[in-house]
Structure 1
């Protein structure tokens, strides 16, 4: 079994999500390593989860941590291949770190995509993928066209506006590298409501 596109799952904090997503053959699995964040994963918890997994790569997710702290923290986590940050200013200090880089950008207005497009060649040169996130934008035609322009110039992972019945069309229309989905909390240990995440992944399954 495989999926029709590249998939990153963000914010994994429990074994139920991790094993399910690994079984669906996602490509990247992200863990929040930012101290004091509500979803922070300790080195012990990370090992407990990832020891069960194979066939995918792991992302260390940070919000505001300084690059020195990021690189120091990652040494305590075996198997990290990518770093995702939200502070663009920190990219310059991480480009030669040996890790793949993802910049998560939270969009509030459509015009902000134009600002990213203006820097797309630089992102491509430094092999930085852009994770587009938004709580307010809708994937209307004008937004789709801007995302398409961006994805023509650098790698884009789309993390908003995704629905099971339209996700394939969105991927085709935008030309993105792939999508980002969000993990969640267990109702209680071992019991998890997979509905939203599972519906999209199942819509992307390649039929045997």
Structure 2
């Protein structure tokens, strides 16, 4: 059993889907916005999701309107969405049927006033529920107390480092809502190197 929830992003093959589900991931994230790198067809996401059980299926979107997102929620059986939005260009999608993870720049989390304003903004804009997701500055900060304080103000997911020790430290000291790992491409159909992912999963089992 993992020490905290884990999602795996950029799922595009059956090897990743089955491996990550078997290792205890809470959910799999499929990029369903055709304008984003690594996007997969809705039919592909639906097919891969059909091979796993007991995991959340999440769709990743950029500038897509609420009704279109909800159509894909229904078509693919999504339990949540990951939003990659530039607020200077477009408002939040309206009327989402499922909770949202909102990817924000790390700089936002380093400014308490801006962070508090974002919490208030999203509480009003996404009443169905939201959480933040970010990749902290590299290297990861050693002031885990600050990141822990942020995680207590609103649900906060962090991109997991590929270093297993750092991933375990985040789980133990920041106590985020969860960590998000990155999937990868198969070497060829049915063949995938899981060395890095396996190391992080095992570290989180021991955290």
1:86 positional shift:
1.5
Map of 1:1-208 to 2, 5 A cutoff?
2-77=1-76, 79-87=77-85, 89=87, 92-94=92-94, 96-107=95-106, 111=110, 115-120=114-119, 123=122, 126=127, 127-134=129-136, 136-142=137-143, 144-161=144-161, 163-205=163-205
Tell me, what secondary structure is at the counterpart of 2:105? strand
Unaligned runs of 5+ in 2: none
Tell me, what secondary structure is at the counterpart of 1:76? helix
Q: Using the alignment, how far apart are the partners of 1:92 and 1:37 within structure 2?
A: 17
Q: Bigger shift: 146-155 or 67-76? A: 67-76
Identify if the C-alpha distance between structure 1 residues 162 and 145 changes in structure 2 by more than 3 Å, giving closer, same or farther.
farther
Q: Count the aligned residue pairs.
A: 202
Tell me, what secondary structure is at the counterpart of 2:168? helix
Structure 1 length-normalised TM: 0.84
Tell me, what secondary structure is at the counterpart of 1:73? helix
Unaligned runs of 5+ in 1: none
Structure 2 length-normalised TM: 0.84
Q: Using the alignment, how far apart are the partners of 2:13 and 2:107 within structure 1?
A: 29
Q: Is the 8 A contact 2:160 2:167 kept in 1?
A: no
Identify if the C-alpha distance between structure 1 residues 106 and 195 changes in structure 2 by more than 3 Å, giving closer, same or farther.
farther
Q: Using the alignment, how far apart are the partners of 2:113 and 2:162 within structure 1?
A: 21
Over the aligned positions, Cα root-mean-square deviation in angstroms equals: 2.6
The superposition leaves residues 70-116 of structure 1 with CA deviations (integer Å, 9 ceiling, x where unpaired) of 22333332x2110110116467534x433011101233687357622
